[in-house]
Amino acid sequence: MSFRPFRALWRALRWLILLPLRLVEFLGRIAIGLAVLVFVAALLISQWEPVLKLPPRFVLTLALDGDLVEQPPLPEGLRSLRSLESGKGPIVLRDALDALDRARTDDRVLAVALDLSRLGNASLAQIEELRTAIARLRQAGKPVHAYGDLLPQKAYYLAAAAQEVTLDPEGLVLLPGVAVTQNYYRDALDRIGVRVHAFRVGKHKSFVEPFTRNDMSPEEREVTQDLIGGIWQHLLDDLAQDRSLAPAVLRRYSERYDEVLAAHEGDSAKAAQAERLVDQLQGYEDWHDGLLERYGSEGNQAEEVAFDDYLYATAPALPAAKAPVVALLPIQGTLIDGPPRDGLAAADSIVDRLDEAAEDETIKAVVLRLDTPGGSAFAAERIRRAVLRVKEAGKPVIVSMSGTAASGGYWIASAADEIFADRFTLTGSIGVFALFPEVSGLLDKLSVNTDGVTTGPFANGLDPRVPLTEPVARAIQTGISHGYRRFLAVVAEGRKLPETEIEPIAQGRIWTGETAQKLGLVDTLGGLDSALERARERAKLPQAPARWLLPPLSARDVLMKLLFEGRSDEFETRLQSLGLLPPGVSLTEPRRLLRAFDDPRGLYAHCLCAAP
């Protein structure tokens, strides 16, 4: 008996039964897509109207509550969404510089108020760029007032650039100086039976020392002391000039702070005022309201505009589709080869952006903003080759160094047409190293025996369970030596200098931007604005706008950023008030977990809970 007719009938019935379900699923997907578009559009529209209505006269308030970073979290067309982010989020240095420079020529801005109480991580190079922008403001006749309830060294260095510094009556100013301290693991590794084989070229390539020594080597101590001594002297000189003080006064405050504090009965705020590091002591509310009254009129307080609102209200229109631009590409974090990962500079993405710049006819020049200590040498070389392809397309490439552009970062920078650095930039470190951990001693301590067969000395040469053999060690060192020679050749080619001139200033040694400029490793001392201006000059387009060159974000990416990197705390409160989110359930926890979950098999032993 044939069942084919019944099978055909069943297939037809099954198709008819599933059709509505599939139709519902299809329509659901369309609805979700439309919801995403409507949500994003609504956010954009909701953010658009307020930033167009600035008062005729106002005080610009700039609260640097967060870390200073080089790369914006969202592409250019979606930057208005950033106003949804928490005040604790990162602050893009370029945004702060733009706001200060626009205020300089904006007649509506009566004064600028800086709140530095919550300034997060920032390099001295970034701080100096902000100080330069503040100096331009003051030269243009715009008053700048700084406040802090606690002013650590970097925050105070920025505050001192203002014409008036106010400290909370319970606050303090810290000037501890500059130190470089790290752990050394040789004894600990010996104790557990782990031996780290270090291979390097360059007597100052000190990255390996913590694994091979118990203390800082004499050579490294000498160069590091020289490095931080120069940085500290610059800080003292600048602060002395800012506050009209003798450097000796600041040294005494720094090195004999216990005596200074005792002289004022332990009152740190009064000590800072008595030593003339600050002008007045006031709580934030009194300081804030006092400034608005000072710049008000007819007995009324002046209006104020927050940094974010001002930035978006005064943002120039996006360039036309075919208008010439200068591309700005940030490279921030440790260099890795492969696809993007949070907090790291991934070669795949950077190379794609550079190749895009080479092919895009609207991009006439590229500025690379480097803030990286290096990392993968292969990643650095891939990015360097992409830089050369941009130059081969007839487009100038300018490097602007931020806090750090060393080792692999300098490998990339050497290919540029011109290199800008800050006085405080850490650069150079032209050297190569490799580390290989051997755990055979640890296994011996655990009474674990390792045995097997091989076809030759290199078959298991990099197996950490067996002792490293001489042939393998020689091969690694030979490869490291070749890598160093390659590094020298790359720098010599890019800087158009003979290798014999590069070799003495290489050896893995770190230089400040100021010294690197004297040695020929850097062309000009200056910040990001100076680099952009030079790029425009080379492209012969003095009015060309700068455009961020960032990976595109999908609507899903935008939503994920808003959910996991925006005002999730306020969003949670709102949902809980509506009864849509149970008390105690957090939306911020998944953000942390997503970054940590990277098991290759996707298996986890984790509790979504917290100890009482």
Q: In what order do the strands lie in the sheet with 144-148?
A: 280-281, 164-167, 144-148, 109-115, 58-63, 303-306
Angular region, 566: left φ>0, alpha ψ -120 to 50, beta rest: beta
Contacts of 258 (CB under 8 A, 6+ apart): none
Q: How many CA atoms lie within 13 A of 397 on its CB side?
A: 27
Partners of 512 in beta bridges: 426
List phi, psi (to 5°) of 330. -80, 140
92 SS3 class: strand
**CA dist., res. 168 & res. 287, Å (int):** 9
- Cα 434 to its chain centre, rounded Å, is 26
Q: At what angle do helices 93-104 and 124-139 cross, to 10 degrees?
A: 10
Distance CA 373, CA 378 (A): 14
**Marked catalytic residue, from 142, 205, 364, 561:** 205
Q: Which residue has the tokens 């609102």?
A: 309
Encoding tokens for residue 177?
Answer: 């100086």
List, in sequence order, every residue forming a beta bridge with 400; answer none if it has no partner: 369, 420
| CA end-to-end distance (rounded Å), the chain | 70
From 254, 407, 429, 568, the catalytic residue: 407
Would you call 518 a catalytic residue per the annotation? no
- Residue 434 to residues 8, 442, 480: CA-CA distances in angstroms? 67, 21, 7
Dihedral sign for Cα 198, 203, 205, 208, please. Answer: positive
Establish how many alpha carbons lie within 13 A of residue 83's alpha carbon, considering only the half-sphere containing its beta carbon: 18
The span from the CA of 511 to the CA of 428, in Å, is: 6
- Active-site residue 407, yes or no? yes
Residues across the chain: 612
Task: Give strand pairing partners of 405.
Answer: 372, 427
- The DSSP output letter for 70 is S
Strands 432-438 and 195-201, bridge-based pairing:
antiparallel
Radius of gyration of the chain from Cα atoms? 29
477/164 Cα distance (integer angstroms) = 57
Cβ proximity of 355 and 329 under 8 Å = no
Beta strand segments in 154-249, E: 164-167, 195-201
Residues 6 or more apart whose CB falls under 8 angstroms from that of 6 comprise none
Distance CA 423, CA 128 (A): 9
Active site residues: 205, 407
